[in-house]
Amino acid sequence: MKSGILSFNKGLFRQHTRSVLWMSIFFMLALLVVLPLFIWMIFMREETLEYYFQGNYENGLLAFSYSIQYITLIIFPVIAGLILTNYLTKKGSSDFMHSLPFKRETLLTHVYMAGGTALVLPIVLNGLVLIIMRPLIKPSVYTIGDVAGWLGISLLVVLLMFVVTVFVGLFIGSPLLQGVMAYGIFVLPGALIMLFVANARFFINGLAAEAYINKVMSEGIFLVRASMIVEKPFSEMELTVYTGLVVLLVVISYIVYKARPAEAVDEPIVFPFFRWLFIFSFTLAAMLIGGLYFGEFLDGAFGWTLLGYIIGALAGYTILQMIVQKTLRLIWPWKGFVLYVAALVILFIPVATFTSFYEEKVPAENEVAKVYVGDNTFYNPSYTGELPNSAAVDRQRIGYMEERESVHQSIDLHKQLIKSGEPSKRMAHQIGIAYELKDGSRMERQYYVDTEQLNELTQELRNNEEFKRKTSSIFAISRPEKISYLAVADYWNGTSQMRITDQKEMAAMIQAMKHDVINEKSRRFTDYDFSNIGEVQVWFTDGQMMSVPIYLDQEQTINYIRQKGKDGGFASADQVAEAYILTTDTPERRRMLVDYIYEKSEAPGEAVLTDFPMPAKKITDPNQLKELLNPALLSQDGDRTLLIQWKGNGAISAVGIKN
């Protein structure tokens, strides 16, 4: 005798199939338009073919508007799931279906069979069309393997979305709520983790919140992860996990459906336990959002953050009770809220224990293979300026440090940051440390420190030669023979000052820039630097460009540009509208100068330099100004500052004067 799961009834299958037939037809047409027809239209216009294949795609079919493909793949299976489980949300339909001479296992099997057929056939048919089209398209833009890969990915995404929609429908009695939760169930766990981490950074010193949030966002939420497979295809482990999840949910769904009370069709959440789980989960989310809102805007002030938690929890709990009770005339179940608060208190105990361990943890020096110190806990091209995707650039030359002195200094800095970091001060300067340990694991910390204090704490590291090399993009050039030319541009006129094409001169220019970087203190972890006056654009033979900033106090770079440029006019006295010598001998005066420059730079029109907040002397002697613009007399900071307003766009620069 066949089990209820394996039983097949032609009439029941036909009834379910008819209900989703229109959806299946639209799904097939949508895929046909998005992929085969789209490819054919591009093929008919040969000039557009290369545009879609500028990137290095692992699967050629993903080059064609994958974003539209993806939206199609996640919408239609949810529609199919809602249609096929709709009878569970209406009393008349539910009574009729459950009065038929079929076990519940049989009913659910036919739901899966009808939905699977309606979703799989359009994908397979489009795959066949792609195979038939392939010999007709020259040049060939995809392989049979690409078609097989596309079929596999599409079937995985579609079947997972469909099974989850059916699974959610067994717990929910409202079709609208079911549709929301079909997507929400993918997002909620990851969202709760991200919200928890985002709030924890207000209280846990050193918490690498950005790194954890980015990891959860990109790898822990299926809807986000599946949207990124063009850049990062699924790994074998991910494919195994998602396939296993489909099978597991199908197996559990039979158990759940068998236990589902038939009379609960009018309940938004069918099972009492999951009703409270639903309420508590979204109440927690609302509470964390409330705390995050106040914490972000008020720099993590504890009292305001706590108020945000209270408002968020009360508002979220009340709204969710309205949804569950299906009325605005709410009977407020205060006992449930007390239970929610008690659960939070219990969870707080292990969190507090973990916090103390986390904050004090520092790796031993002999455990560290390499270390990265930057504005974040992960290497980002913005840390050094945008590094181009060029064969002449080696990204491994930038970022992580491996020398023992660098590791030692980084660990010393870490220990000082444990004492100095203030997690609630979100407006302070951010600094991240990431260790790659010899056992293959990672350790990441992120701190917020006042700018002046961070400047002092990082003095030793910013004088470290390896740190300077690892934070300057000029050292990322691994194949200088691939450089086409160098162009120098200023920031006040936006014009090119010179162009170097001779290989020896380019090598000399690059050597001058490297010399200045090595012989100056690194400019990382300074809240401001107004001495940036231009850039050297390094153009490579593959058409890529890398920009390297130029600063007024960089002696060899400035002198080389003046020597080779137009009449030695780069950043010269002739280009200065007016200049002042300011007294900046205290941190307070330096801070006032920063505020003053920001205020003048943001003012509409050309700024008028008046009303200085510190002693100021205008330079009227052209010879004195020319002498002061000698980079050998300038430095990153000093008790006196040269303030310059340039001709042209009226840009303002400031640089220290050596004592």
pLDDT in tens, 547-579: 999 999 999 999 999 888 766 678 888 889 999
Q: What is the pLDDT of residue 656?
A: 93
Please say whether the beta carbons of 182 and 269 come within 8 A: no
Inside any domain, residue 49 = yes
> Is 169 found in the same domain as 44?
yes
> Is 279 found in the same domain as 348?
yes
Q: Which of 473, 503, 518 is the last residue of a domain?
A: 473
**pTM score over 0.85:** no
Instruction: State the Cα–Cα distance between residues 476 and 293, nearest whole angstrom.
Output: 40
> Is 118 found in the same domain as 96?
yes
Conformation bin of residue 494: beta by default, left when phi > 0, alpha when psi is -120 to 50: left
Please say whether the beta carbons of 167 and 108 come within 8 A: no
> Is 204 found in the same domain as 308?
no
Q: What is the pLDDT of residue 173?
A: 82
> Is 248 found in the same domain as 389?
no
**Before 613, cis peptide (omega within 30)?**
no
For residue 556, how many other CB atoms are within 10 A of its CB?
18
Q: Strand runs (DSSP E) across 366-506, as ranges?
A: 368-374, 429-437, 442-449, 483-490, 496-500
Exposure of 494 by Cβ count < 10 A (0-12 exposed, 13-18 middle, 19+ buried)? Answer: exposed
Instruction: State the Cα–Cα distance between residues 184 and 188, nearest whole angstrom.
Output: 6
Type of residue numbered 224: V
Distances (CA, A) of 131 to 26, 32, 127, 153, 504: 21, 13, 6, 17, 54
> Is 152 found in the same domain as 99?
yes
> Is 140 found in the same domain as 27?
yes
> Is 197 found in the same domain as 132?
yes
Mean per-residue pLDDT for 589-610? Answer: 83
Inside any domain, residue 615 = yes
Please say whether the beta carbons of 516 and 557 come within 8 A: yes
Inside any domain, residue 321 = yes
Mean per-residue pLDDT for 373-385? Answer: 63
Q: Which of 233, 261, 289 is the last residue of a domain?
A: 261
Mean per-residue pLDDT for 85-92? Answer: 84
Q: Domain span at residue 435? A: 365-473
Mention every residue, 6+ apart, whose C-beta is less than 8 A from residue 441. none
Inside any domain, residue 561 = no
Lowest average pLDDT, out of 460-474, 505-519, 522-536, goes to 522-536
**pLDDT > 90 fraction of the chain, expressed in percent and rounded:** 53
Q: Which of 446, 473, 500 is the last residue of a domain?
A: 473
Question: CA-based diameter of the chain, in Å?
Answer: 107
The number of domains in the chain is 4
> Is 231 found in the same domain as 84?
yes
> Is 236 found in the same domain as 277?
no
Instruction: State the Cα–Cα distance between residues 482 and 568, nearest whole angstrom.
Output: 28
Distances (CA, A) of 362 to 13, 224, 365, 424, 457: 62, 33, 9, 21, 17
With tokens 């690194």, the residue in question is 522
Conformation bin of residue 65: beta by default, left when phi > 0, alpha when psi is -120 to 50: left
> Is 126 found in the same domain as 34?
yes
Mention every residue, 6+ apart, whose C-beta is less than 8 A from residue 482. 390, 391, 392, 540, 541, 542
Quick: pLDDT tens for 137-172.
777 778 899 999 999 999 999 999 999 999 999 998
With tokens 């460009």, the residue in question is 545
What confidence category does residue 42 fall into, taking pLDDT thresholds of 50, 70 and 90?
confident
Inside any domain, residue 553 = no
Inside any domain, residue 507 = no
Instruction: State the Cα–Cα distance between residues 348 and 388, nearest whole angstrom.
Output: 46
Q: Strand runs (DSSP E) across 322-424, as ranges?
A: 368-374
> Is 312 found in the same domain as 249?
no
Inside any domain, residue 302 = yes
Inside any domain, residue 284 = yes
Count of CA atoms in the C-beta half-sphere (13 A) of 413: 31
